[in-house]
Amino acid sequence: MLNIILMGPPGAGKGTQAVKIEQEFSLPHISTGDMFRAEMASGSELGKTVKEIINRGDLVPDELTCEIVKARLSQPDCANGYMLDGFPRTLPQAEALEKMGKEINRPVTMVINVSCPDEELKRRITGRRVCPKCGASYHIIDMRPKKEGVCDLCGSELIQRKDDNLASFDTRLSNYYKSTAPLIAFYKERGLLFDFDGTIGSENVKNEIFALLRGK
């Protein structure tokens, strides 16, 4: 069973790989960041609660985050596998996931950890532009859209995420090292961790991940 977690610092390329994996292996792509952004866009109570936290680059409280993940993982489409992107991000979240995995009989079977040096992360995040409609991601220097400011895939106007500025990036990166990086040891201990180098080009990263997933 492919019950996967995608892990890595902001800008490592998790989202890019998630889209490729989703298409190839037909796994539901569960991105807590996307779920929160959808709540923010709809103006729901949850969206209002998390907006400030997210824009400054901080983490949404564990309890709130675990609740939305449990509801999502319990959906019927996750019975034959799932892919978590951006969750868990803290030790309490990883423990909660382990517990809910047992309860709903959908335990994590593999953790894909993509790494990348800080300087490169900063360059990628501050130059990133995203499509608010379809989620496609671009870069002002190394992944330009065909027409400036416009999504190749759906024609929408590209935006810069509110948390893709230098100050929020610094907060996200330090939260990553403080809260998320310890999960590497957590999953290594459980024999679930697989490491990938996020700097070898997204096609190469994809090929390595696909090889691992096909072997399972």
Separation between Cα atoms, residue 75 and residue 20, nearest integer Å: 22
Separation between Cα atoms, residue 136 and residue 131, nearest integer Å: 5
Q: Are 129 and 161 in contact (CB under 8 A)?
A: no
Q: Which two tokens stand for residue 79?
A: 């019975």
Q: Per-residue x/- marks for ligand ADP, 89-108, CB under 6 A?
A: x---x---------------
165 CB neighbour count, 10 Å cutoff: 15
Compute how many residues bind ligand ADP; rule: CB under 6 A. Answer: 18
Single-letter amino acid, residue 167: A
Task: State the maximum Cα–Cα separation within the chain, in Å, rounded to a whole number.
Answer: 48
Q: What is the closest distance, in whole angstroms, from the C-beta atom of residue 1 to ligand ADP in the complex?
A: 22
37 is catalytic: no
Which residue is associated with the tokens 């319990």? 74
By the rule CB under 6 A, 57 interacts with ligand ADP: yes
Which DSSP letter does residue 41 get?
H
89 is catalytic: yes
Quick one: which of 3, 17, 32, 113 contacts ligand ADP (CB under 6 A)?
Answer: 32
By the rule CB under 5 A, 157 interacts with Zn ion: no
Q: Choose among ligand ADP, Zn ion, none what residue 87 binds, the Cβ cut-off being 5 to 8 Å by kind.
A: ligand ADP
By the rule CB under 6 A, 54 interacts with ligand ADP: yes
Separation between Cα atoms, residue 115 and residue 36, nearest integer Å: 24
Angle between helices 32-42 and 62-73 (to 10 degrees): 100
DSSP string, 22-47: HHHH---EEEHHHHHHHHHHHT-HHH
Quick one: which of 4, 7, 39, 65 contacts ligand ADP (CB under 6 A)?
Answer: 65
**Stretch near ligand ADP under the rule CB under 6 A, chosen from 80-88, 116-124, 138-146, 193-201:** 80-88
Q: Choose among Zn ion, ligand ADP, none what residue 13 binds, the Cβ cut-off being 5 to 8 Å by kind.
A: none
Which C-beta is closer to ligand ADP: that of 36 or that of 138?
36
Q: How far is CA 26 from the centre of its chain?
A: 17
Residues in touch with ligand ADP (CB under 6 A): 10, 32-33, 36, 53-54, 57-60, 65, 86-89, 93, 163, 172
Residues forming the site for Zn ion (CB under 5 A): 131, 133-134, 136, 151, 153-154, 156
Cite the active site residues.
14, 89, 128, 161, 172
